[in-house]
Amino acid sequence: MELAGLSCTTAIAKAYPPTSMFKNPPTVLVICGPGNNEGDGLFCARHFKLFVIIPGHKLPLSFPPRATKRPNKPLFTALVIQCQKMDIPFLGEMPPKPMLIDELYELVVDAIFGFSFKGDVWEPFCSVLSVLSGLTVPIPSIDIPSGWHVEKGNPGGTQPDLLISLTAPQKSATQFTGHYHYLGGHFVPPALEKKYQLNLPLYPDTECVFHLQ
């Protein structure tokens, strides 16, 4: 998960270099969900703070209210504490209007649902995804766009500008129509790649991401 988060941060930095942002300081909103994608989002924010955004820039994290209690797993608890100690603020609630988010942030990272998502989206995530659909700022999605079926996708759902596939692209990635598609998986053991016939690309040198599109 640590390396997955680093891969996400690296892909975002390559697609949207901090020097290309207009706000001073630039701001990024990371929206974390109830499952493992929360961990990816927290790691992503922490690496963003360390390696991409210079001191003084802000990286708020949002946990949608009333969705579910934050996981009590020690890993997630430790990640939250790490982010708090790095002065990464947590929002008490999701900004309710797309226009408000567009005014405040230059990127909104979708770390809500991952490949294990199944079934229908429930509240308050329905409202969160509805807000995302109205944004004009770029949305990088981690793993798969939130609300998408891992194989069938969801053309009417979240439409990110950047998709960061982890380990290997999911079948639904064929429906991705955004500008950037990166693969983060330079951490996959060769035995695992062989077992599942992943046919992963060769990563250049020490790069942790591969530009697919």
Q: For residue range 167-183, list pLDDT tens digits in order.
A: 999 999 999 999 999 99
Q: What confidence score (pLDDT) does residue 54 get?
A: 39
More confident residue, 26 or 177: 177
Q: Could you count the other beta carbons within 10 Å of the beta carbon of residue 27? A: 18
128: which strand partners? Answer: none
Q: What confidence score (pLDDT) does residue 60 get?
A: 60
Q: How do residues 34-76 score in pLDDT, each as one tens digit?
A: 777 778 888 888 888 886 553 334 456 665 543 444 556 787 7
Burial class of residue 124, CB neighbours in 10 A (0-12, 13-18, 19+): middle
**Cis check: omega of the bond before 124, within 30 degrees of 0:** yes
Q: How do residues 107-162 score in pLDDT, each as one tens digit?
A: 999 998 877 777 777 788 888 899 999 999 999 999 999 989 888 888 777 899 99
Q: What confidence score (pLDDT) does residue 20 get?
A: 83
Q: Please state whether beta strands 209-211 and 180-184 pair in parallel, antiparallel, or not at all (unpaired).
A: antiparallel
Return the HEC string of the chain: CHHHHHHHHHHHHHHCCHHHCCCCCCEEEEEECCCHHHHHHHHHHHHHHHHHCCCCCECCEECCCCCCCCCCCHHHHHHHHHHHHCCCCEECCCCCCHHHHHHHCCEEEEECCCCCCCCCCCCCHHHHHHHHHCCCCCCEEECCCCCCECCCECCCCCCCCEEEEECCCCHHHHHCCCCEEEEECCCCCHHHHHHCCCCCCCCCCCCCEEECC
Q: How do residues 180-208 score in pLDDT, each as one tens digit?
A: 999 998 988 989 989 999 889 999 999 99
Q: What is the CA radius of gyration of the chain?
A: 16
Q: Could you count the other beta carbons within 10 Å of the beta carbon of residue 23? A: 13
Q: Could you count the other beta carbons within 10 Å of the beta carbon of residue 122? A: 10
Residue 82 predicted with pLDDT over 50: yes
